[in-house]
Amino acid sequence: MPYGFTAEHLALIEKVRTFADEVVRPAAYDYDRKRELPMQIVAQLGELGLFGLPLPTEYGGAGKDYTSFFLAVEQISRVDQSLGVTLEAGVGLGAVPILRFGTEEQRRTWLPDLAAGRALGAFGLTEAGSGSDAGGTATTAELVDGHWVINGSKQFITNSGTPITSVITITAVTGQTTRPDGTTAPELSAILVPAGTPGLQVGPAYDKIGWHTSDTHPLTLTDVRVPEANLLGERGRGYANFLTALDEGRVAFAALCTGAAQGCLEEALGHAKEREVFGRPLEANQHVAFTLAQMATRVHTARLAWVEAARLLQAGQRFKQQASMAKLVCSQAAAANARDASQIFGGYGFLAENVAARHYRDAKVLEVGEGTTEVQLGVIARELGLCGTGFGPTPPAASVPDHCGAAPAVGERTEPAPLRAVR
């Protein structure tokens, strides 16, 4: 089997690929122009069971492995990145943190609708002053009379303003903690905020250069009150838990990037075979043929990268470095393939109705979302035991040479936590 996929994986690929080609692709240009998330197609993704693929059956999911979910994301993203990231974020940032860190009551409250695609979840981390430096969160949550009172703002939050958004996980400073050296640091916790809670304001959608139909909004929280029981995971573990969720999300995002790279290859290959220039097919031009060969190699390399990261994830082994490598390699493959595909199309590659042109426009954010290229390089360098990364959260002491003089960050574990079963 290619890439170690099972017969069940291949059957899923065929099912989702057919849906993407027959339903998503023909409609993509129309809803891209409207800059609207196609809720009817989102509902169909739910009916196909894609939102529930990696979630346990007791919460309405399909109980499949993570590779199945990543394959679905790849196939949808092959024809439309906006819809691909809607699926990826809905599961990876909306549902999985609740599965990983939530109480049984929280899981049973939120996961069935999220698994069925009847609802979408979001994760509110990024702020105007804290993106890659998530430890700089300024949003606060104070415990008052059994309720968290939250004040602050978030930005670039995917799936936060759709008609079916049901819950947004907000990271907020809930106090101060003391480090081993006696200094203090913000205590960062995660809190579930139901959509429509008084004081939660969803701002106008961003005017983005790409991902036009992905739902993305800023959020303002003014004296938002939610029950104390809405704390997600342990108090003070919000940052550490987020890092865990982010590692898993990077593998899914890498699959999204691979889908985009594959889509660019397929579009360019079809055009090169059909287009005639100077009395012969465009593919007969050696430069074009070599460009397509390079594009195919990028797709193959990208897929190998995320499949290996997924294998380690599913085995419960440490995969942080492989997740960042996959995200780095796959995003670069997508950006390069989008550029080459648009060039092969010539003038047609500059028209928004062209799938390759939309990939070209969308590809820039692939090098930013789920951690920038520079963040990935920093993570990989730290995993190699290097201390000269210059930014980002302090790594676990066990992974840093003595000469670096780093102390473990508050709330960050020094050993990978075992992966909770998701079947």
Contacts of residue 280, Cβ cutoff 8 Å, sequence gap at least 6? none
| E strand residue ranges, 159-215 | 165-178, 184-194, 200-202
- Angle, alpha carbons 356-43-37 (nearest 5°): 45
Pick the catalytic residue from 228, 370, 374, 415: 370
Q: At what angle do helices 238-274 and 81-89 cross, to 10 degrees?
A: 160
306, two tokens: 């995320």
Place of tokens 């959509």: 195
d(CA 67, CA 112): 21
Q: How far is CA 67 from CA 88, 103, 136, 306, 307, in A?
A: 13, 25, 33, 9, 7
Please give the single-letter amino acid code of residue 343: Q
Rounded CA gap, 386 and 25, in Å?
Answer: 44
Active site residue 370: yes
- Which two three-digit tokens encode residue 281? 């097919």
Q: Nearest CA to 313 among 422, 398, 409?
A: 422
Query: What is the SS3 string spanning 324-393?
Result: HHHHHHHHHHHHHHHHHHHHHHHHHHHCCCCHHHHHHHHHHHHCCCCCCHHHHHHHHHHHCCCCCCCCCC
Active site residues: 370
